[in-house]
Chain A
Amino acid sequence: MRRLPAAVLVGAAAELAGVGLTATAVWLVMRAAEQPLMSALTVAVVAVRTLALARGGLRYAERLTGHDAVLRAMAELRGKVYDALLRRPLRGGDALTRLVSDVDAVQDAVLRCALPAGVAAVVGTTVLIATGAPAPLLAGTLLAGVVLPALAFGLANRRLRALAPLRAELTEHVVALREGEVELTAFGALDHALDRAGDLVDDLAARERDHAATALAGLAVAVQFGTGVLLLVNGEPAHVVLGAVAALEVFVPLTTAARRWAEHRGSVTRVRETLAAPPAEPPPPLLLPTARRVGVVGPSGAGKSTLLHAIAAANPGRAKGLLDDAHVFRRPVRDNVRLADPDAGQPRLDEVARVADLDVPWDAGPELSGGERQRLLLARALLADPEVLLLDEPVEGLATRHGDRVLRAVLAAARGQVVLVTHRLAPLRDFDEIIVVEEGRVTQRGTHDELSRTPGHYRDRWTAECP
């Protein structure tokens, strides 16, 4: 943010050149009407031409310095946010997406709120000093520069607060409509649900009308020109009157900026909080199962994936593999696999691809089918060749038989310990130990032969899979 003050100064200079141009031109005309000698006007003529050129050039410079300052500051901010996330991870795709758009909102807030406000402050102060602050101008400046933006901010805040629950309700309805579309259709309730959401839309539209904001726009015009008229009545010279009206133009964007600031405030706060968040607690020590091949089963949402994450967190550098949040980066396939071992040569890459049955070209982009994606992740996990290989539903998205075959090859290639989460039980028959997780707790453990004889989740699933 170090370059921002420079951008503010250049912007203020551009605006002041415009104000100066108006004032000088008016002075020139008024003085010329008194029919003095030509020489009395020379300076003014030169000033008008110079200011006209300066105004355009400075405005251009302002936009460049402003954008340059903000873009550099944002580059730094992205880096800091990344560091903060490294110290304290944020789980959940939605939260991350929101954080990234929050960072973009900060950029907008600086460029369109902070920068215009700074420029307006410098211009307002300079003009007041230059004119000796006549009372109408002082009042007009305070009204246009402080009171109206403050009002706009307060009103926007109130409106956002009032609309938030309605908007949240509408979002909830839209999501339910889409997610439950088949259900609604099956129960003949789709039209009714659409009507209900439509009522909400109408309700929102009625409340979104912002009468106060429309009035503010009219008031801003009244203040700008009203100040001019008052200055006239006050007996100020013409160039001061019209210069003042031109200067008050600088405050016009401030009401919009104030409204925008009300919208971005939450984003700015969230980014600030992310940056200030203390590092996450170190993970509690976790007793790793000792058997060489461990299977983890249980109903969805029971905590199997969480168990794998806990193992990974407790054994950094030792336990690697394919977890449920495994990410395919928007990079070529080769880079995505090589992530696990940047020094790996082509023969080694080809070897893991063969085991994982990954048959897409190495230079292919990341637009993969579900099955290809899964095999890419498996190849990556194999390339890491960890002491403990973690696999969370590794062949999901592959046809059953194909999946079984790939999984067999991967298990055969794994040299260390393996922990496998799976909903399909067939691959677990020769595992050394199987852990059943239900509602976040381990409820059963044993080999396949033991568990398939004991009543419980495992036996139920087994009979369903192979009745």
Chain B
Amino acid sequence: MRHVDRRYAVALGVLAAVTAVLVPVQAELLASVLSGAGGVVPLLGVVVARAAWVWVGQVVAQREAAKVKAALRKRVLRDATGTPGEVATLAVKGLDAVEPYLAGYLPQLAVAAAVPVAVLVRLSFADWGSALVIALTLPLVPVFAALVGVHTRERTRAQWAAMASLGGHFLDVVRGLGTLKLFGRAAAQARTVRLMSHAHAAETMRALRVAFLSALVLELVATLSVALVAVPVGLRLLDGGVTLHVALLVLLLAPEAYLPLRAAGAQFHASAEGLAVLEQALATTPRTTTTTRRRPPDPRTSPIVFEAVEVRYPDRAEPALSGFHLTVAPGERVALVGPSGAGKSTALAVLLGAVPPTAGRVLVGGVDLREVDRAEWLRHLAWVPQRPTLFPGTVGENIALGTPGADVVGAARAVGLGDLVHARHALSSGERQRVAVARALARTDARLLLLDEPTSRLDGRTEEIVLRATRGRPALVVAHRPALLGEVDRVVEFR
């Protein structure tokens, strides 16, 4: 409940309070009409009012759900960790599940708190005996639900785990179908899939028999109470102990006391997933961006020094880069060569500040890179990644990324993409690479180019075009192709 906006809580309270007035009034008028006292027109009025109020309640609830969902989506966009697919699933589809919780369960919960009280108050004036029966049985519903819940919690949890593992098992087998086929085991698994599913169905049913007991209790309490109220009232009518109006009122109101509880129970199961998603989204911690510190030295005039830099990734035993020393003089063009996995791209990532060194340091003009303002430092660099991402939008927008007002057409022409500036369609991997080069060229203010195999997906002629465009500019180049090696002042070898 702590996730609920205060104003929304108040709105739900008001909605429930009005419903708690409308329900007894409707029963009152209906009892009047049935007992021959007339009053069809006011009854019709209350019915219309109830329908309208349901509509208002839905509008309020939906508006709130949409608002919360949008806020959570933005939060997930900014802060969520995980693979791109996971984040996208949570942000787009996953958060839909908060709607049943916010717009379904919570309003129903408010109604379940208000309406039974109103019913009891009205009944205690009309016929205190019936009110007593309801007042005594009503608490049985949550108490029994809780008792059954406690009893079955462990089993239900185990069951959910089993359910997840069955879904998981099926996905596991289906994903491994290629492997199973390769080793001639696919046919044998067909039987296992069925056996597991059937065994699981039988086991689930055993757990459900207990879990559904809470629903059984709820139904029984509700229906038996109606019987407990209706039969004595009927018998008292025989000797004139109550009026028909009161008898009908009791009969009409008694079920209304239990109805909201049943509805809330049903909504609870539907919204359990929503609550889980909500908690998952709220568990993301805002990313801290430290905006310290000193202006970085200009790489045009300051040397860049890698001092015994080591990088370890948490999920890998071997360091990605270790004991790396390199000095790049201002204006120099240096090629980094060596087998895949030797740490060439990692060295560039360290220079970009994307990966912190686990040991050693990088100095720019004698200043540790960790102490300079990163955004300012990045302004000096133009990076061509090995596998460039193409962002939604036109090729031109991709080239202008982060350099508003750049000479997009000029940069695109320089790499032979002049015709594609307005294109939005999927590009080949070679074209993507050229977009990335154009993007780097568009940063005319950049003092140092970081080129990570910028021509690995290009043919000889296109490679020559790209080389010509970057020729002469200070650069760190990760290279495989010999053509690149002829374009640099110095070659540094990784092992």
Contact = CB atoms under 8 A, between A and B. Distances in A.
Nearest to B199: A75
Given A32-B237, A174-B92, A370-B316, 5 more contacts: A29-B244, A82-B173, A229-B40, A320-B183, A329-B179
A72 B201 CA distance: 6
A208 B248 CA distance: 44
Contacts of A86: 177, 181, 186-187, 190
A329 B169 CA distance: 9
A75 B215 CA distance: 26
A147 interface: no
Contacts of A232: 33-34, 40, 43
Interface of B: 26, 30, 33-35, 40, 43-44, 47-48, 50-52, 54-55, 58-59, 62-63, 66-67, 69-70, 73-74, 77-78, 83-85, 87-88, 91-93, 167-187, 189-190, 193-194, 197-198, 200-201, 204-205, 208-209, 212-213, 215-216, 219-220, 222-224, 226-227, 230-231, 233-235, 237-238, 240, 244, 247-248, 251-252, 255, 315-318, 337-342, 349, 352, 354, 375, 378-379, 381, 383, 385, 388-392, 401-403, 429, 439, 443, 456-457, 479-482, 485, 491, 493
Residue among B34, B74, B315 with the highest chain A CB neighbour number at 10 A: B34
Contacts of B193: 78-79, 82
Contact of B73 (A93, A172, A201): A201
26 contacts: A18-B223, A25-B234, A25-B251, A29-B251, A32-B237, A32-B238, A55-B223, A64-B205, A68-B201, A75-B198, A99-B174, A100-B171, A103-B170, A175-B87, A186-B352, A186-B383, A188-B375, A197-B74, A206-B66, A209-B66, A217-B54, A217-B55, A233-B40, A241-B34, A400-B342, A467-B485
A320 B212 CA distance: 50
Chain A interface residue number, banded: 35 or more
B58 A463 contact: no
A215 interface: yes
A335 to B, nearest CB: 11
A70 to B, nearest CB: 9
Given A182-B354, A299-B457, A384-B183, A176 B389 contact: yes
A167 B209 CA distance: 40
A176 B85 CA distance: 10
B235 A183 contact: no
Interface stretch (A5-13, A41-49, A137-145, A356-364): A41-49
Given A180-B389, A464-B481, A221 B50 contact: yes
A41 B212 contact: no
Given A25-B227, A184-B401, A214-B59, A60 B215 contact: yes
Nearest to A402: B318
B318 A399 contact: yes
Given A176-B391, A194-B77, A213-B58, A38 B238 contact: yes
A299 B429 CA distance: 11
Contacts of B47: 221-222, 225-226, 229
Residue among A31, A85, A183, A185 with the highest chain B CB neighbour number at 10 A: A183
B480 A53 contact: no
A464 B479 contact: yes
B85 A219 contact: no
Nearest to A49: B227
Contact of B231 (A49, A94, A192): A49
A414 interface: no
A96 interface: yes
B402 A188 contact: yes
B223 A53 contact: yes
Contacts of A299: 456-457
A177 interface: yes
Contacts of A242: 252
A187 B85 contact: no
8 smallest CB-CB distances across A and B, nearest first, come from A187-B402, A218-B55, A75-B197, A180-B389, A327-B176, A56-B220, A214-B58, A178-B84
Contacts of A226: 44, 47
A174 B77 contact: yes
Q: Label chain A's interface by main secondary structure.
A: helix
Nearest to B89: A171
A188 B352 CA distance: 12
A440 interface: no
Nearest to A18: B223
B88 A175 contact: yes
Contacts of B352: 182, 186
Contacts of A206: 66
A327 B175 contact: yes
A202 B491 CA distance: 51
B424 to A, nearest CB: 12
A36 B174 CA distance: 71
Nearest to A211: B59
A29 B233 CA distance: 7
A423 interface: yes
B221 to A, nearest CB: 8
Contacts of B181: 86, 89, 316
Contacts of A129: none
B178 A327 contact: yes
Contacts of A467: 337, 485, 491, 493
Interface in A85-99: 85-86, 89, 93-94, 96-97, 99
